[in-house]
Structure 1
């Protein structure tokens, strides 16, 4: 089990910790950070040593993950974040790319009842880079080039293939072999076996150019190189589509329960789904009300979530403020690989929770060789039903499973939470939310057995309540599931489908962080 970072009182006004951080480093700045790969923590440590805050640490970690974890995230994917500058209000950053202006919706409908799961038609405009720039503008201390430098070094010098990445390569081996870009990166040309070290010179060049001028990714030399590569892969995206992208920075949705205010991202993100069930999580220790509301919220989300830019969204319905009920759906493809979450909180109260994603493992199954970017398949979440709020249309954004969450109190406490977990992220987070500000053992909190609900997205043919062994209240949850049209199954042990939660927290004068033991992650106070 990855240990939680030590709880460290924040520095006194002179800048010297009243209790030293691990090792007593003189560069200690007081940032708690959690991420699913050690390389991300080392990147955060480097920029904090150079004077960075929580914003800098989160961005450096996020960039490093695009190098070390190409099955889960990429600068060719999307980003959603909740950030809170010290002394300011929380902001939601939604950098969600749109479908191509030239997308042939009629052809897609003629080809099948649902969107393809991968391939060039599922690639939407990548939003990560504009998301990084927006987060930096809201509170980073260092220039973007400095924040990306650890990632550039990793890409140029090589990073060992983690156990999780190795499993992902084997799990999608046929798809990796089918794409020249992925196979050149991930497979030994002589043996055909997965490589042990990733060396990515094209990606290093791309990251270096982004650091020098991030706008070139959307409206410059880099954009045209990417557009040419997309065209060669069969995507309808053009340089004009890239130039049209803007990250949305907006006020998050909030819900106050007791003295804790929870902030989550608005549609097309499933933040309302988390807020709809957060109250049940806090007020009902048995978990029965949470499961019941989670099932209702799941059905409402599947029926109602879409892009407010393409038509009205029933926010009250998503928040379970109406009595309407909805029929079940099969949930779409299993988003294996999926997502990375990074959380960071510093001694001043700056807080960041960001999630970046390629959706399924290795996204669309395409790596554009000129830029070294793995391209996401977020477009596979569109509906081909012209009446559905998530309907595909030129310039429309797909619905998003990403669900970063921030908790704040009037006393100055703040906790940043995020997780990998696909469509189950809302109820994964809800099961730890009630204790996240008070738990003395954050790592122990994340290690507790959990449940999720889903169908195809958790590898089941029918809607299922999936329990990890030892889940609290399992008997009562099982009885409740029968009335919710859920079959019940139990995993053999802790399971990836139950999510990889990352938490960073400032409570009183003490920083702490923890990384989920189900992943390869690490937490630190640096």
Structure 2
């Protein structure tokens, strides 16, 4: 009975647009953009920038962006990947360490792709970047509500953050941890956003980039100004596969969209089991990661977009926070590359690392339904499960969306065994945070996973 009530509350429908995010505050920001005449891209970018402040351990301008989107009237979705390539000196630095590169710390810091990704998505909107960033800047100045998830991730990251900020930092102060419900001002992040408005994709060509390189190199890293010089945003038609429940589109390599497609190709998504996932992932599976968030938006014109933006794994990325800017640096390089000489995923200069980030899309009830979740390597199992519910549910799309985000989850433990909610995990205790959005004839719908801090709003 409780799940039925949650399912009804998880989904919302409107005529002008809808948005779902990993942060309640960000959902309100995205909805306001729609009300002010913005389209789905405006709403998604405004919400995503708000999340970089509201969820500073998960996503930020020093992270990466992956997106799947369908412009109004388009026949198929497009895949957008804004992930930085390997720094020029990383391969040699790894070799000098006999390929023993930690997943966090200065060598793990990736070249940020997020500014280029946000800027490209913003260019498809109706509003200037200054308008899209303004709510996030105001939020940073006034203070962020420290949610239960923020409290949890601060506690779990205390040792990592203190390793590189021994005198404490705004995310892990010396005096005492932040209390749940506290308002935490982040004015230095406002300054980063101000620079982003001025420089767009070239954010790191200015003082923020100088401070970033200085922070990394003082701790023994190898990033240079040249490494930050530019990230190519790769936009291509999303790859597609046929399942027994219909066509699925997903983001392209090096994202795990291709892994998701491999699992469901020629099958019913609901029939994919633990053994299939264990065999496909080909390595031990870490527990869920909280270094990622997602935003999904749709509008009355038919534009639909889902953004996955991330600082990587597990939270607060590399553990390095840029002095004077409170900017958390990702560990995409340390987590994504395989540090084996000659390996196809080794850190050859400029090569983009594989990433578990991905988003997917299907056609349903005359419109596009897009979705994604955080979760590290659990993203694939959780997306398979949600697709199984969505594509196997004969109910109207809005009802199916609510049921899908609230349905019981299972995940893979590090030993490859199944861990299920209500058994090894508390009921609704998985750290999934799905966002779904649907643009159908005459209306838009969004749904947000009720497990943590997400919310869906329609206008």
TM normalised by structure 2 equals 0.89
> Is the CA contact 1:415–1:436 (under 8 Å) kept in the aligned structure 2?
no
**Residue 94 of structure 1 aligns with which residue?**
81
Q: Which structure ranks higher in relative contact order (CA pairs < 8 Å, sequence separation ≥ 6)?
A: 2
Q: Give the secondary-structure state (helix, strand or coil) at the position aligned to 1:214.
A: helix
The residue aligned with 1:159 is 144
The equivalent of 2:307 in structure 1 is 354
> Hey, what does 1:75 align to over in structure 2?
61
Of 199, 206, 210, the match for 1:213: 199
Aligned with residue 363 of structure 2, among 405, 408, 424: 408
Give the C-alpha shift of residue 255 in structure 1.
Answer: 1.8
> Distance between the aligned counterparts of 1:207 and 1:40, measured in 2?
15
The answer as to 2:231 corresponding to 1:245 is yes
Decide whether aligned partners of structure 1 residues 280 and 166 sit closer, same or farther in structure 2, where only a CA change above 3 A counts: farther
Shift, 1:31, TM fit: 1.4
> 2:324 corresponds to which residue?
370
Q: How far apart in 1 are the matches of 2:413 and 2:97?
A: 26
- The structure-2 alpha-carbon separation of the partners of 1:182 and 1:42, relative to structure 1 and needing over 3 Å to count, comes to farther
Q: How does 1:173-184 map to 2 (within 5 A)?
A: 173-180=158-165, 183-184=168-169
Match of 2:426 in 1: 492
Q: Normalised by the size of structure 1, how large is the TM-score?
A: 0.79
Q: Which aligned segments of 4 or more residues in structure 1 are displaced greater than 6 angstroms?
A: none
Matched, 1:120 2:106: yes
Distance 1:58 1:228 in 2: 32
Cα distance in 2 for partners of 1:418, 1:492 equals 22
Match of 2:406 among 432, 447, 454: 447
3-state SS, counterpart of residue 296 of structure 2:
strand
1:436 aligns with 2:383: no
**Shift in alpha-carbon separation, 1:235–1:107, aligned structure 2, 3 A:** closer
Q: Which of 115, 120, 142 pairs up with 2:127?
A: 142
Runs of at least 5 residues in structure 1 that lack an aligned partner in the other structure: 11-29, 300-328, 456-461, 471-489
Stretches of structure 2 lacking an aligned partner (at least 5 in a row): 1-5
Deviation at 1:113, TM superposition (A): 5.7
**Pairing of 1:97-496 with structure 2 (within 5 A):** 97-103=84-90, 105-109=91-95, 111=97, 114-137=100-123, 139-180=124-165, 183-189=168-174, 191-194=175-178, 196-257=182-243, 260-279=246-265, 282=268, 285=270, 287=271, 289-299=272-282, 329-331=283-285, 334=287, 336-359=289-312, 360-380=314-334, 381-408=336-363, 412-436=366-390, 438-439=396-397, 440-455=399-414, 462-469=415-422, 490-496=424-430
Q: What's the counterpart of residue 481 of structure 1?
A: none
Matched residue SS, 1:125: coil
Distance between the aligned counterparts of 1:183 and 1:281, measured in 2?
51
**Distance verdict in 2 for CA 1:281–1:374, change over 3 Å:** farther
Q: Is residue 277–residue 427 contact of structure 1 (8 Å, CA) maintained in 2?
A: no
What do the CA deviations read for 1:437-473 (whole angstroms, capped 9, x no partner)? 7441533321111222252xxxxxx222222238xxx
Q: Distance in 2 between matches of 1:57 and 1:84?
A: 14
- Higher mean C-alpha deviation, range 443-452 or range 61-70: 443-452
1:4 aligned residue = 10
Q: CA deviation at 1:242?
A: 0.8
Sort the Cα spacing of 1:182 and 1:520 in 2 relative to 1 into closer, same or farther, 3 A.
farther
C-alpha distance in 2, partners of 1:181/1:404?
37
Displacement of 1:213: 2.4
- Give the Cα separation in 2 of the matches to 1:162 and 1:182: 24
Q: Residues 282, 349 of structure 1: CA spacing in aligned structure 2 closer, same or farther, 3 A cutoff?
A: farther
Q: Distance in 2 between matches of 1:391 and 1:346?
A: 41
Tell me if structure 1 keeps the 8 A contact 2:19–2:458: yes
1:518 aligns with 2:451: yes
Give the match's secondary structure for 1:205. helix
Cα displacement (A) at 1:277 = 2.0
Structural RMSD (CA):
2.4
Distance 1:264 1:182, change over 3 A: farther
d(CA) in 1 for partners of 2:330 and 2:350? Answer: 16
Quote the offset at 1:408 in angstroms.
2.6
